[in-house]
Amino acid sequence: MTKTASVVIIGGGISGCAIAYNLAKKGVKDVVVVERSYLTSGATGRCGAGIRTQWGTERNCKLAKFSVDFFENANEILGYKRDIEFKQGGYLIVAATEKEVEQFKKNVELQNSLGIPSKYLSPQEAKEIVPHLDETKILGATFCELDGHLNPFHTTEAFAQAAERLGVEIMTFTEVVGIDVEGDKIKGVHTTKGYISTPIVVNAAGGYCRQIGDMVNVDIPTYSERHQILVTEPVEPMQEPMVMGFSLNIYTQQVPHGSFLIGRGDPTEPKDLRITSSWQFMEKMAKTACDLLPALGKLAVVRQWAGLYNMTADAQPIYGPVKEVEGFYLAVGFSGHGFMLGPATGQIMAEIILGEPTTIDVSDLDKDRFARGELVLEPSVV
Amino acid sequence: MRIEEHPILSFENEKRKKIKFIFDGKEYEGLEGDTIASALHAAGVKVLGHHYANNRPRGFYCAIGNCSSCLMTVDGEPNVRICVEELKEGMVVETQKGKGELK
């Protein structure tokens, strides 16, 4: 079966669905989303699902603030009948080294200048917000009440349903097997369910974006890295904010259901596409969690899982077209914060594709910045 | 309720030590080797908890620590699977409301 589309988006995660929704809202007809498995089957459905405005670069602050503002009203904007479960309990980011204390004070200054009401706290003040925190393990903390977390499945579903109402076609369990290029221009996409003729392809394939790039001979300067999360049995609500530490290497939130999600990064992870679970993670993660939040030691772990971060050298995404192939656009390399930036990604990518001025300038987040050596380093990542 | 007589097994030579414990403020007695749940079952306690959302009673079910039907607070620790937790002298066992509170 052959069909024709104006835009084919590869990837049915938050980015792909948000881009599709925004394109359709701007009146683009015949937008198709192609997803290899089910919606949210990749990193979106595997992430910690936090959103924070407390970043170390101006642009990340702006992208995140845009997304928080959107999430606050997402049920209404997207006409979602259920609930994306946005809980703004804040983010408590703990500093455990002098270097972090210094960086965090700078971050708060930057954030405040951009209208983000974060504040720097002493260990004692941090303990008042999270009473089960062992304050002797930290030197300070920052807190912002705008931050929080939401349900990645509902959020993606909300975007997808809104997009479908606007005429977007979402093809799940459909794998892209090849992309036709003629004279450096995109011509169409071969899938396991037939050929789609299209002048524009958006690569929103997350951890698998390089495989898509290979189909058009575009080398995408990202790598995928396994990150793991464990989840505990539920208990009554006891922790409002996400608790996060960069040098301590932990982020943990209590979801509305009562379970704790606890995750971390591991620099020794192999750079491949595996998403298996490891016992090493469980052992190290549990120790870190119990050191910082001793009460959690009494909770039983229910299970663990893994997903892929698609990393760039400066931990910021790659947005926009590529020079090599006309009609090939990238929304990749989110480095672990693609879910929270979803609304901004959707808006900005739609604007870029339609040649409109972008809400937030991302022109220097192109693919070739790495080759030029113009990195925009984000200091605050797990 | 305990099985006193059995067509094949014999309990005659078995002298198990009695163990006292507190359940919901009242003193109970079990036997050495009991789990908390088996001691409660022997004492006639059939309702072990209530569903956190619809509040229907939950009884002794899988008995191997999988089903979460028997979660109780034991010595202040929530969500203890009492069907696989060995009974000890002086334990304070409480039925749990909701999902259990971590203190």
- In order of start, what are the domains of chain A with their CATH numbers? 2-46+153-222+314-372 (3.50.50.60), 87-146+225-308 (3.30.9.10)
Q: Can you give the pLDDT at residue A1?
A: 61
Say yes or no to pLDDT of A382 above 90.
no
Domain containing B48 equals: 18-95
Considering chain A, what is the average pLDDT of its residues? 95
SS3 A187: strand
Closest CA to A262 of A218, A296, A230: A230
The fraction of chain A above a pLDDT of 70, given in percent, is: 99
Question: Does residue B90 lie within any of the structural domains?
Answer: yes
pLDDT digits (tens, 9 = 90+) for A329-364: 999 999 999 999 999 999 999 999 999 999 999 999
Q: Please give the span between the terminal C-alpha atoms of chain B, in angstroms, as a whole number.
A: 35
- Asked if B79's CB is within 8 angstroms of A236's CB, the reply is no
A250-254 and A260-264: which strand pairing? antiparallel
Please give the residue of chain B at the shortest CA–CA distance from A235.
B99
Are the C-beta atoms of B91 and B22 separated by less than 8 Å?
yes
- Best interface-test mutation with B: which of A231, A232, A233 has the largest number of B CBs within 10 A? A233
Asked if ipTM goes beyond 0.95, one says: no
- How many domains, in total, are found in chain B? 1
Question: Does residue B10 lie within any of the structural domains?
Answer: no
Question: Does residue B62 lie within any of the structural domains?
Answer: yes
Are the C-beta atoms of A140 and A66 separated by less than 8 Å?
no
Distance, in angstroms, between A159 CA and closest chain B CA?
29
Interface of A with B in 269-298 (CB under 8 A): 295-296, 298
Residues in chain B predicted with pLDDT less than 50, given as ranges, are none
pTM for this structure? 0.90
Interface of B with A in 43-102 (CB under 8 A): 68, 77-79, 98-102
The fraction of chain B above a pLDDT of 90, given in percent, is: 69
Contacts A235 to B, Cβ<8 Å: 78-79, 99-102
Please give the residue of chain A at the shortest CA–CA distance from B99.
A235
Question: Does residue B103 lie within any of the structural domains?
Answer: no
Please give the residue of chain A at the shortest CA–CA distance from B66.
A302
Q: State whether residue A185 sits within 8 Å of chain B by CB.
A: no
Distance, in angstroms, between A47 CA and closest chain B CA?
24
Instruction: Write b or e for each residue in A99-110: b if 16 or more Cβ atoms lie within 10 A of its Cβ, otherwise e.
Output: ebbebbeebbeb
Q: Can you give the pLDDT at residue B49?
A: 92
Starting from the edge strand earliest in sequence, which strands make up the sheet with A194-197, in order? A2-4, A194-197, A185-191, A176-182
Question: Does residue B71 lie within any of the structural domains?
Answer: yes
A119-121 and A176-182: which strand pairing? unpaired
Q: State whether residue A303 sits within 8 Å of chain B by CB.
A: no
Are the C-beta atoms of A221 and A335 separated by less than 8 Å?
no
**Tokens 């079990």 belong to residue:** B30
Question: Does residue B65 lie within any of the structural domains?
Answer: yes
Q: State whether residue A236 sits within 8 Å of chain B by CB.
A: yes
pLDDT digits (tens, 9 = 90+) for A153-169: 999 999 999 999 999 99
- Asked if B102's CB is within 8 angstroms of A295's CB, the reply is yes
Contacts A233 to B, Cβ<8 Å: 68, 79
Calpha distance A134→B47 (Å, rounded): 38
Query: Domain containing B81 — which CATH number?
Result: 3.10.20.440
Q: Can you give the pLDDT at residue B52?
A: 82
Q: Can you give the pLDDT at residue B97?
A: 85
pLDDT digits (tens, 9 = 90+) for A19-60: 999 999 999 999 999 999 999 999 999 999 999 999 999 999
Interface of A with B in 246-265 (CB under 8 A): 258
Please give the residue of chain B at the shortest CA–CA distance from A302.
B66
Question: Does residue B7 lie within any of the structural domains?
Answer: no
The number of C-beta contacts closer than 8 angstroms across A and B is 27
Q: Can you give the pLDDT at residue B12?
A: 74
Calpha distance A44→A13 (Å, rounded): 5
Calpha distance B86→A250 (Å, rounded): 34
Question: Does residue B101 lie within any of the structural domains?
Answer: no
Calpha distance B18→B42 (Å, rounded): 13
Residue in A233, A235, A300 closest to B101 by CB:
A235
